[in-house]
Chains A and B, each alone.
Chain A
Amino acid sequence: MQKKFIGIALTICIFLFAGLVGLANSSSKLIIYHWWTAGGEKEAIDSVFNKFNQKYPDIEIVENPIAGGGGGIMRAQIKTMIMAGQSPDTFQLTYGTGMIGSFAEVLDPIDDLWKDFPVPAMVKKMGTIKNHQYGIPLNIMRNNCLWYNKAIIDKLGIAMPLETLYDFYIACEKVKNAGYIPYAVGAGGGQKFWWVHIAEQFLLGLPHGGPEYITKLYGGKADPANDPAIRELLEALRRLVVNKYINSDYAALTWDQAADLLMTNKAAFYQMGDWAKGHFTSAGWKPKVDFDYQPSPGTSGYFTLHLDCFVLPKGAPHRDAAIKWLKFLKTVEAETAFCPIKGATPPRLDAPIDMYDAISKDILNSFRNPKTKIVQSAWAQPPEAWLDVYGDMLSAFVIDPDVEKGVKDFASAYKRVFGFK
């Protein structure tokens, strides 16, 4: 009797175990990694998940959001997983030659999925590595946006937009004299790379900078030790720091905490990509009423951008589900579920724009304007190391803004990114 009972129990256990193993390996899962956790972006990706689940109710999304480091923490995690043979089904990457190039060897090309995907040719080109496509972009982000608190700017009578960096510094002086923080920065909590972002927009608006120089710089073809643009950039950053136009606690704040300085009427200006709009609106701030934006000073007619995409790693355990996910992401439905909430621009040229607010419409029109000069940002064109190496270099520079030393450090960092042997 006892033997019979043990036999039955064992059989049940074996079936249960087999069932669990089967469940774990079933194709009804989608293991996905991304770094959207802040206000606006979290709601945006949740909206896409909802739409995807409506279309594929049998696929269970196993979401792994990993915050921090502008995606750096998540990318590090993904690298260890891939090297350990534990690839997820899909993960987020910034879309561009450098970033995708850093991962291309462990990704499967998805050229077939790119058929019937009406995005601008330039977008397709910036994600092409050795004639192959590896990612489906979900949203376009404009980086050269200067956000401002309308109440403070109106109160101080500052005429917007600020056309040049010279106008910008005059405005900063006025704001400072009125007792506000002129320029909010949040480069703490391991987010030193925001100095890279700030430097990029300055460089774009400087006389020797501009789109061509940035493309050359990010392509590894510049000579920072002798290029006047680098000296100009460091002078511009020095001016920002020495004149105390930035908040003194910038090294203790993250990007969203720095954005909050605008919302609490403590700071007037904030340099951040258009994802900041999602953060503002998710906290109840109204575009054009409480806050507004302009292209960063001196960058009118330019559009620094990067895109977020999802990729297909080699050895994805639920490949079919991953392909369904990628196919879904290229639809108008997915872009429309995501972009308005996140405050981003849809890559598809046929995506409707009527549901976007005035600021997004302006950004979208600027992107689709053939006269606009598009520049890939530091998240897209240079190798992945750029963000970390220059985040370090520039954050050290703003502490000790010695331009001579800064030029040397800039050149040595350049060697580390492009010439490390």
Chain B
Amino acid sequence: MRDIYKLKRIVPVFIFILPAVSLVIIFVYIFSGWSAWASLTNWRGIGHFGEFAGLNNYIKLFTQDPIFKQCLINTIELALVFIGITIPLGLVIAILLDLGIKGKSIFRAVYLLPLSFSFVVSAAIWTWMFAPTNGAINTLLRILNLDVLTQPWITSTKQSLFCIALVYIWQFQVFATLVYYAGISGVSPNLSEAAQIDGASTFQKYWYIIVPLQKPATLTVLTILLMYTLRVFDLVWLMTGGGPGYSSEVLATYMYRVTFNQNLFAYGASIGFFMFVLSILIIIPFFSTVMRRSK
């Protein structure tokens, strides 16, 4: 009797989650498996799948492809700049919002705006801003007689990746702020009141109580941003196309070009599968922490 009751409760749950789970299984795991299999072949060009070639593509990737190494380094650099700035910035702005700065509602509206832009729009805006000859930034600097500060921006091998990181920061700090703001809002007011009674200043209250309590929020933001950085494609593709040279080429753009422009489908699949493994490695600590907490 109890079993039938249990079954009656479980079956609808399974029915409800079945569509979502099926889609994830088909489009994530089956296709990732298929991609892993493709990476072990010599598939080139459309029309024929190729034959089994063992780990040949991976050996080539890690030992004979300097562009891949450059892309990996660029991806790591992009992650460091992007995440290294986005997280502290998001936290600081969330604290400012929590402090109730003047004109908070206007600030919030203006501040949230970048989140509503698609990457295509952002890329168009910032490409125009960064244009070295008649872009907005350099033009403004010239108007202010600060010609010495004008930069080549996206046309420089040394600055192109940084420019792209800056646009990602501009767009994603909103997300970081929202997560932190939710985290800060969730801190029990009793803790703040207790700190105030003990004579803690506002800075001390945030530094010793509220910020340390944001570890789960930080972990969430860090994991999501890290995973996003791994598959960064849109802004790189639209703003620089990976150039000049290979200076802003990242793993995802390289995978795309190798697969679709060079018709090396199996080789592209090996880059894709490598990215998949990296994503798994990033997400494991997140899940293990979440699981530990839930226990």
Closest 6 CB pairs of A and B: A190-B241, A105-B47, A76-B260, A388-B261, A396-B245, A385-B262
Q: Does A168 contact B (CB under 8 A)?
A: no
A249 touching B133, Cβ below 8 Å:
yes
A249 touching B264, Cβ below 8 Å:
no
B contact residues around A400 at 8 Å (CB) = 245
Shortest A35–chain B CB gap in Å is 14
| Residues of A367-416 whose CB lies within 8 A of B | 383-385, 387-389, 392, 395-396, 399-400, 416
Q: Does B216 contact A (CB under 8 A)?
A: no
A contact residues around B246 at 8 Å (CB) = 392, 396
Nearest to A83 among chain B residues (CB) is B46
Chain B 133-177 interface 0/1 with A at a Cβ cutoff of 8 Å (1 = within): 101000000000000000011110100100000000000000000
Count B-side interface residues using an 8 Å CB cutoff. 38
Shortest A61–chain B CB gap in Å is 25
A421 touching B256, Cβ below 8 Å:
no
Q: Known: A82-B46, A188-B243, A192-B241. Is A252-B155 also a contact (CB below 8 A)?
A: yes
Count A-side interface residues using an 8 Å CB cutoff. 40
Q: Known: A105-B46, A249-B132, A392-B67. Is A399-B260 also a contact (CB below 8 A)?
A: no
Tell me the bound Cα distance from A417 to B260 in angstroms.
14
B155 touching A248, Cβ below 8 Å:
yes
| Residues of A88-124 whose CB lies within 8 A of B | 102-106
B155 touching A399, Cβ below 8 Å:
no
Tell me the bound Cα distance from A383 to B152 in angstroms.
34
B contact residues around A76 at 8 Å (CB) = 256, 260-261
- The interface residues of chain B, by DSSP majority, are classed as loop
Tell me the bound Cα distance from A250 to B245 in angstroms.
12
A388 touching B243, Cβ below 8 Å:
no
- B264 interface neighbour in A105, A385, A396, Cβ under 8 Å: A385
Tell me the bound Cα distance from A406 to B217 in angstroms.
49
Shortest A81–chain B CB gap in Å is 10
B244 touching A399, Cβ below 8 Å:
yes
A-B contact pairs, 27 of them (CB 8 A): A75-B261, A80-B260, A82-B46, A102-B263, A105-B47, A106-B47, A188-B154, A188-B155, A188-B241, A190-B240, A190-B242, A190-B243, A192-B242, A251-B155, A251-B244, A252-B135, A252-B155, A385-B261, A387-B261, A388-B261, A392-B242, A395-B244, A395-B245, A396-B245, A396-B246, A399-B157, A399-B245
Nearest to A72 among chain B residues (CB) is B261
Chain B 14-45 interface 0/1 with A at a Cβ cutoff of 8 Å (1 = within): 00000000000000000000000000001011
A192 touching B262, Cβ below 8 Å:
no
Q: Known: A188-B155, A252-B131. Is A420-B44 also a contact (CB below 8 A)?
A: yes
Q: Does B48 contact A (CB under 8 A)?
A: yes
Nearest to B245 among chain A residues (CB) is A396
Chain A 167-182 interface 0/1 with B at a Cβ cutoff of 8 Å (1 = within): 0000000000000000
Nearest to B246 among chain A residues (CB) is A396
Tell me the bound Cα distance from A251 to B155 in angstroms.
5
Chain A 66-87 interface 0/1 with B at a Cβ cutoff of 8 Å (1 = within): 0001001001100110110000
B contact residues around A201 at 8 Å (CB) = none
Q: Does B257 contact A (CB under 8 A)?
A: yes
Tell me the bound Cα distance from A83 to B43 in angstroms.
13
Shortest A93–chain B CB gap in Å is 13
Tell me the bound Cα distance from A76 to B260 in angstroms.
5
Q: Does A128 contact B (CB under 8 A)?
A: no
Nearest to A191 among chain B residues (CB) is B241
Q: Does A189 contact B (CB under 8 A)?
A: yes
| Residues of B264-280 whose CB lies within 8 A of A | 264, 267
Tell me the bound Cα distance from A400 to B238 in angstroms.
24
Shortest B225–chain A CB gap in Å is 25
B237 touching A384, Cβ below 8 Å:
no
Supplied contacts A105-B48, A384-B262, A385-B263, 15 more A-B pairs, CB within 8 Å: A76-B261, A103-B46, A105-B46, A189-B127, A248-B155, A250-B155, A251-B244, A252-B127, A388-B262, A389-B262, A392-B257, A395-B245, A399-B245, A399-B247, A420-B267
Tell me the bound Cα distance from A383 to B132 in angstroms.
35
Shortest B102–chain A CB gap in Å is 39
Tell me the bound Cα distance from A222 to B154 in angstroms.
35
Q: Does B130 contact A (CB under 8 A)?
A: yes
B262 touching A106, Cβ below 8 Å:
no
- B154 interface neighbour in A251, A383, A416, Cβ under 8 Å: A251
Shortest B42–chain A CB gap in Å is 7
Tell me the bound Cα distance from A345 to B238 in angstroms.
32
B240 touching A188, Cβ below 8 Å:
yes
Q: Known: A190-B237, A249-B133, A252-B130. Is A395-B46 also a contact (CB below 8 A)?
A: no
Tell me the bound Cα distance from A71 to B12 in angstroms.
50
A79 touching B152, Cβ below 8 Å:
no
Chain A 244-258 interface 0/1 with B at a Cβ cutoff of 8 Å (1 = within): 000111111000000
Tell me the bound Cα distance from A247 to B130 in angstroms.
16
Tell me the bound Cα distance from A399 to B247 in angstroms.
10
Tell me the bound Cα distance from A192 to B67 in angstroms.
15
B243 touching A420, Cβ below 8 Å:
no
Chain B 215-230 interface 0/1 with A at a Cβ cutoff of 8 Å (1 = within): 0000000000000000
